[in-house]
Amino acid sequence: MISSGSMHKLCLNKSKKGPLALAIGIFDGVHLGHSDVIKELKKHDNNAIFTFNPHPRPNTKLVVPFSERISLLRKMGIGKAYAVDTEDHILGMSASEFIETVLIKTIKASDIIVGEDFKLGKNRDTDAITFKKLCKEHGINVTIIKDLKIDGVKLSSTRIRELIIGADFNLIEKMLGRRYSIKGIVTSGKGFGAKLGFRTANIIPHREMAIPSSGVYSTITKFNGTEHKSVCFIGEGPKVVVETHIPGININLYGKKIEILFLRKMREVKRFKTAEELSKAIAEDIKNSV
């Protein structure tokens, strides 16, 4: 069992006895590079994820919130995860101390899987090759998974965050292996869209998520197991609200969970002098989105 007070054990299934294989990383977005790590991890019957929450680098925006990260890993067949709080003293350990105190004495790991860009230690001063050598001295086997490149671009969570802000959803989909989306519970808005004849479902994204820049987007909105073509508006301001209009759907979605999948950015935010001009622009956006 984990003994550190701020290291949490997330038991998604019952753990098995015997040597434990561990994949170490943040796994933000659970992209295709992470999938390669997980495939290697699953070659071992008794396996677990070792991750961090919140992100070890303060103020880092996330591709997906932590709860969704765990959900995605669970769908990939991972039954157990260890999550370290960023205030835990573990983050201040040297690589050798981490291996001896956490991997050997606490978790009793036998095999470790990491990505090629893996870094460890208080100042991230131990790379994957050095980590492998140190673990070997303690009888722990380390497998290093090579970085992937998609369309000539190195695949990483950092790069995906940049692509989200830049609205390059085609490349994001190639890197994630799925469409980029934002999930949330529909909340009440100001009702301005409804007055113009364009009712919207509004969600407030998780405060730690990387969000596309302000503008109008062609999207697909999912709820109750169905998909609907939609148009999404992301405005400017300190509090980001994502508003989506689903043409032909006039039902009350307040309190329901929806998922908005982003296809492409159609235009930047514009200012309109009259409600009539705005109404015409929205109608044109709907026409161009389908």
Residue 261 lies in a domain: yes
Taking each helix axis from N to C end, the angle separating 157-166 and 169-176, rounded to the nearest 10 degrees, works out to 150
- What CATH number is associated with residue 36? 3.40.50.620
Asked, for residue 173, whether it belongs to a domain, the answer is no
35: containing domain: 7-150
C-beta of residue 83 within 8 angstroms of C-beta of residue 56 = no
Higher-confidence residue of 8 and 188: namely 188
129, part of any domain: yes
Could you tell me if residue 218 is inside a domain?
Answer: yes
Residues 38 and 133 in one domain: yes
- Residues 111, 37 within the same domain: yes
Give the 3-state secondary structure of residue 133: helix
pLDDT tens-digit map of 72-129: 999 999 988 898 886 677 878 889 999 999 999 888 999 999 999 999 877 778 999 9
Number of domains into which the chain is organized: 2
Give the pair of three-digit tokens for residue 281.
Answer: 């622009």
Considering 129, 150, 171, which residue would you say is the last residue of a domain? 150
| Whether residue 211 is found in the same domain as residue 96 | no
SS3 content of the chain, % helix, strand, coil (to 5): 30, 30, 40
Instruction: Give yes or no: residues 51 and 136 share one domain.
Output: yes
Give the pLDDT score at 17.
55
Domain boundary among 131, 150, 169: 150
125 vs 81: CA distance, rounded Å: 25
CATH number of the domain that residue 203 is part of? 2.40.30.30
H helix intervals, 152-228: 157-166, 169-176, 192-195
Task: Say whether pTM exceeds 0.85.
Answer: yes
Q: How many angstroms from the chain centroid is the CA of residue 27?
A: 8
Q: Is the same domain home to 195 and 145?
A: no
Residues 145 and 29 in one domain: yes
pLDDT of residue 283: 85
pLDDT at 276 over 60: yes
- Interval 147-168: pLDDT, tens: 999 999 999 999 999 999 999 9
pLDDT tens profile 17-43: 567 999 999 999 999 999 999 999 999
Between 264 and 278, the more confident residue is 264
Query: Which candidate, 290, 257, 259, places its Cα nearest to that of 178?
Result: 259
Cβ proximity of 236 and 269 under 8 Å: yes
pLDDT at position 179 over 70: yes
Q: pLDDT at residue 239 above 90?
A: no
CB 285 within 8 A of CB 217: no
Q: Are strands 80-84 and 20-24 parallel, antiparallel or unpaired?
A: unpaired
**One domain, residues 138 and 189:** no
Higher-pLDDT residue of 199 and 32 is: 32
Confidence check: pLDDT of 285 > 60: yes
Query: Residue 238 falls within a domain, yes or no?
Result: yes
Radius of gyration, CA atoms only, the chain: 22
Whether 257 maps to a domain, the answer reads yes
Confidence of residue 7 (pLDDT cuts 50, 70, 90): very low
In-domain check, residue 250 = yes
Residue 165 lies in a domain: no
Running DSSP on this structure, what letter comes out for residue 102? I
Of the residues 96, 128, 150, which one is the last residue of a structural domain?
150
Average pLDDT taken over every residue of the chain: 87
Tens of pLDDT, residue by residue over 163-176, are 999 999 999 999 99
Q: How many CB atoms lie within 10 A of CB 154?
A: 14
89 close to 101: Cβ distance less than 8 angstroms: no
Evaluate if residue 191 carries a pLDDT over 90: no
